[in-house]
Amino acid sequence: MPDNLQIEGALAPPGQVSPASRADALAQLGERSFDLLVIGGGITGAGVARDAAMRGLSVALVEASDFASGTSSRSSRLIHGGVRYLEHGQLHLVFEASRERRILASIAPHLVRPLQFMWPVYEKARIRLWKLRAGLFLYDALALGRNLGRHRTLTTHVVTALEPDLRHMGLVGGASYFDAATDDIRLTIATVLSAREAGAVVANHTSVHDLLMTSDGVCGARAVDLRTGVDIEIRARVVVNAAGPWSDAIVRMAEPQARRAVRGTKGVHVAVPHERIRNNGALTLLSPIDGRVMFVIPTGAFSIIGTTDTDYDGRPERVRATTADVTYLLRSANAFFPGAHLTPSDVVAAWAGIRPLVAFGDKDPDAASREHAISWTVPGLLSVTGGKLTTYRAMAVDVMDTVARRLRVGHRRAATHRKRLPGGDFASLEDELAIARATIGAPDIAEHLVHAYGTQWRELWQMASIDRTLAERLIPELPYIAAELEWGITHEMARTLGDLLIRRLHVAFETRDHGMSIALAVVQQVGPILAWNKEDELQSYRREIDDLFGIAES
């Protein structure tokens, strides 16, 4: 370990959360009266809670499952300006997204990083080369200099040199442009942690089952702690409904006859071993099946192929990829990588999420607006629907401006565009990575810890330095180490095996058995901290991974 590296307070830093502190948070939910209760711990609810707490309001945030367990863990893992929205004339959304992409890259530089895309163009493609050039020129112009890099037009020779396994027949050229990659789950968790640091009382696995009502409207909610079965009444002057695909269910607690406000569309992704498809970089493609935009994105040992966009009217918690979804994505990828010959047996993981779009009009899902909408369902209940991962911070600003007017607390905005998320307080990512590599020795572990935790990797690695068993890999070919399990519980409010292996780490997404091979060992290591019943926890985890990764027959 370098002599100049100082790591302090690893065992009990200010942000530590113990099981006892969860009990304290639940007690506060029932004992205090809040300015604001946020229902929903996805990226939108997390952003609203952070903004509100940073404005000095008293805030409670509850999530029925785990933070980011819904749509916010099932995206394309991109913070993007939305180049494909230009085709539908959604210029305002592109402008807003490009601004927010730059902000997120500055407040979470470990979690939001530039990613260059290449868009190859073929004969008779729906979007011709001239149209792509014009669109990318407008894309850069709308960014007003905020783009992470300027687009370039590419010749066929350059395209094939960059991606030699890409189909050459019919290729007429291409272009490159910049967006950003992210870890959607960890971005959500970091935002929740930032809200808590600003004073918000937050609790996952706490499900709202009714709203508190007076003659003046909604004044809070009744919830149950799903880990203990204890009921809680949470009183608040305003309730923000940020439940995503479940938003309509929350609204109907106050207004049973309310019309549908959310249109759910299903997006499916599959992960395949990178060596099977062998793309060198991120690609934007037009599916030869229906012409819609899709991506192939390298993520370590895997490539993610996605996404679909189809209407979904079922229960949000039961959404799954279907055999037809998987076939569509593999056929589309094989058309561009003819040597890959991808089959369903190559799929390591397939997952589906629901985009909670504003229910307006009958456009095709791909053309439906990704803009957000804010509305008072009844006095005291404000619902936010629509939007996208990239613009969550701007959505939160709009929500809180509306709340501030209702509470008459002034309109001074919080500096959510400047204050960095936990772990993002470093001057240079490359310098941080260099220190971590020199300290840890294993480059892949060092890079993973820095990208996942930012500067907090130092405290986490200190735990592993004190107890060397915590430095051991959970799975030989992946960079996750045992110390992250305890960190997830003591610092990031993980409460279940699924919280750990699906969301704090991505083990479930990156193994064919979705982490079952190490599940028992994990329960034995950290189960005593939370008094888990071994068989109950293992059974619950089996159900969760089946719900998330099971592929339904079409």
User: pLDDT tens across 98-112, in order?
Assistant: 999 999 999 999 999
Q: How far is residue 455's CA from residue 459's CA, in Å, rounded to a whole number?
A: 8
**Domain residue limits, the chain:** 32-71+186-261+369-407, 111-183+263-362, 429-552
Lowest mean pLDDT among 37-41, 134-138, 362-366, 433-437: 362-366
Strands 302-306 and 262-273: antiparallel
**Most confident by average pLDDT, 156-160, 258-262, 359-363:** 156-160
pLDDT, position 362: 54
Domain 429-552 carries which CATH code? 1.10.8.870
- Rounded to two decimals, the pTM is 0.94
Instruction: Provide the mean pLDDT of the chain.
Output: 93
Residue 156 three-state SS:
helix
Say what the pLDDT of residue 370 is.
65
- Span 299-312, pLDDT tens digits: 989 999 999 999 99
Peptide bond into 307 cis (omega under 30): yes
Decide if pLDDT at 90 tops 60: yes
Q: What is the mean pLDDT of residues 116-120?
A: 97
Q: Residue 112: phi, psi to the nearest 5? A: -125, 110
Q: Report pLDDT digits (tens) over 354-412.
A: 999 987 655 565 555 568 899 998 999 999 998 899 999 999 999 999 999 999 998 78
178-196 pLDDT, tens digit per residue, is 999 999 999 999 999 999 9
Question: Minimum mean pLDDT among 146-150, 203-207, 386-390, 492-496: which range?
Answer: 146-150
Q: Cα(248)–Cα(384) distance, rounded to whole angstroms?
A: 11
Domain 111-183+263-362, CATH among 3.30.9.10, 3.40.50.1010, 3.40.630.30, 3.40.190.10: 3.30.9.10
Question: What is the pLDDT confidence band of residue 528, given thresholds at 50, 70 and 90?
Answer: very high
* In the predicted structure, residue 37 carries a pLDDT above the cut 90: yes
- pLDDT of res. 13: 40
Contact 143, 100 (CB under 8 A): no
> What is the assigned CATH class of domain 32-71+186-261+369-407?
alpha beta
pLDDT score, position 1: 32
Among residues of the chain, what percentage have pLDDT more than 70? 94
Whole-number CA gyration radius for the chain: 23
- Asked whether the beta carbons of 98 and 81 are under 8 A apart, the reply is yes
Least confident of 10-19, 140-149, 171-180, 321-330: 10-19
